[in-house]
Chain A
Amino acid sequence: MRAADALVKALEKEGVQHVFGIPGGAIMEVYDALYDSSITHILSRHEQGAVHMADGYARASGRVGVAFATSGPGATNTVTGIATAYMDSSPIVVFTGQVPRSMIGNDAFQEADITGITMPITKHNYLVTDEKSLLRIVKEAFYIASTGRPGPVLVDLPKDVTRADIEFDYPDKIDLIGYKPKIEGHPRQIKRAVELIMKSERPIILAGGGVRISNAHNEVLRLAETIPAFVVTTLMGKGAIPEMHPLSLGFIGMHGTKYGNYAIMDSDLIIAVGCRFSDRTVGRFSDFAPNAKIIHIDIDPAEIGKNIRVDVPIVGDAKVVLRDIIKYVRYKQRKEWFDYVNKLRSEYPLKYEFREDVIKPQFVIEKIYELFPDAIITTEVGQNQMWAAQYFKVKYPRQFITSGGLGTMGFGFPAAIGAKVAFPDRIVIDIAGDGSFLMNIQELATCVDYGINVIVCVLNNAYLGMVRQWQQLFYNRRYSATRLRYPDLSFEKIAEGFGAYGITVDKPSEVEDALKEASEVDKPVVIDFHVEVEENVFPFVPPGKSLREVIG
Chain B
Amino acid sequence: MTRLRTAPPRYWLVAVVVLFFVGFPTVISSFLASEWTQALALAIAIMGLNILVGYSGQLSLGHGAFVALGAYTSAILAHHYKMDYLVTIPIAGILTGVVGFLFGIPALRLSALYLALATFALAVVTPSLIKRPAITGGVQGISITQPDPPQFAKDTFATITGTSMTSDQWIYYITLFCALVLFWLAWNLVRHRPGRAMRAIRDGEVAAAASGVNVAGYKTLAFGISTFYAGIAGSLFGLGTGFVSPDTFPVALSIQLLVGAVVGGLASIPGPLLGAIFAYFLPIESNQWVPSQAWIPDQIASTVKNAGPAVSYGIVLILIMIFAPNGIVGLIYSGYVALNRRLRGAGDRETGQVPSDAQTV
A and B physically associate = no
Q: Which residues of A contact B (CB under 8 A)?
A: none
Q: Which residues of B contact A (CB under 8 A)?
A: none
